[in-house]
């Protein structure tokens, strides 16, 4: 559940509590206390133990990681090969340039 959805749900719950509170007399201070949990029983059951075992931020991270489109094994292998080939090519170009400039400096400045 996103942040905006949670806030909308909290606002709706507060509105509902206010409407119920104005229709009848408040019998004790207990009924006036705001609800501590904004998650539904289904969400609490899904999390396991009301979130006591895992902090909320960890559950948010897990839910975001489930939304990620992970690459297939073949895509990972292809991209790995591309990275290795490009690295070798750039290393060769830079190494050649280094040797060339070294030779040039040796022939012109150091003579």
pLDDT, tens digit only, all 111 positions of the chain: 688 888 888 888 888 888 887 655 444 444 444 545 555 555 555 555 555 678 999 999 999 999 999 999 999 999 999 999 999 999 999 999 999 999 999 999 877
What's the pLDDT score for residue 3? 82
38 touches 13 (CB < 8 A):
yes
What is d(CA 102, CA 93) in angstroms, rounded to the nearest whole number? 14
Domain region containing 8: 1-36
**What is the count of structural domains for the chain?**
3
| Whether residue 84 is found in the same domain as residue 61 | no
What is d(CA 91, CA 29) in angstroms, rounded to the nearest whole number? 74
| Whether residue 105 is found in the same domain as residue 81 | yes
What is d(CA 78, CA 86) in angstroms, rounded to the nearest whole number? 12
| Whether residue 111 is found in the same domain as residue 94 | yes
| Whether residue 98 is found in the same domain as residue 85 | yes
| Whether residue 51 is found in the same domain as residue 63 | yes
What's the pLDDT score for residue 28? 46
Would you say how long the chain is, in residues? 111
| Whether residue 32 is found in the same domain as residue 45 | no
What is d(CA 39, CA 21) in angstroms, rounded to the nearest whole number? 21
| Whether residue 32 is found in the same domain as residue 52 | no
66 touches 38 (CB < 8 A):
no
3-state helix, strand, coil in the chain (%, to 5): 75, 0, 25
């Amino acid at each position: 559940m996103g942040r905006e959805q949670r806030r909308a749900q909290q606002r709706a719950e507060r509105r509902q509590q206010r409407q119920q509170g104005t229709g009848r007399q408040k019998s004790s201070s207990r009924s006036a206390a705001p609800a501590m949990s904004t998650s539904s029983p289904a969400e609490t059951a899904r999390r396991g133990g009301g979130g006591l075992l895992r902090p909320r931020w960890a559950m948010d991270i897990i839910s975001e990681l489930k939304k990620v489109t992970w690459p297939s094994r073949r895509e990972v292998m292809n991209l790995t090969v591309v990275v290795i080939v490009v690295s070798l090519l750039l290393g060769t170009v830079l190494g050649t340039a280094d040797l060339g400039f070294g030779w040039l400096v040796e022939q012109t400045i150091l003579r």
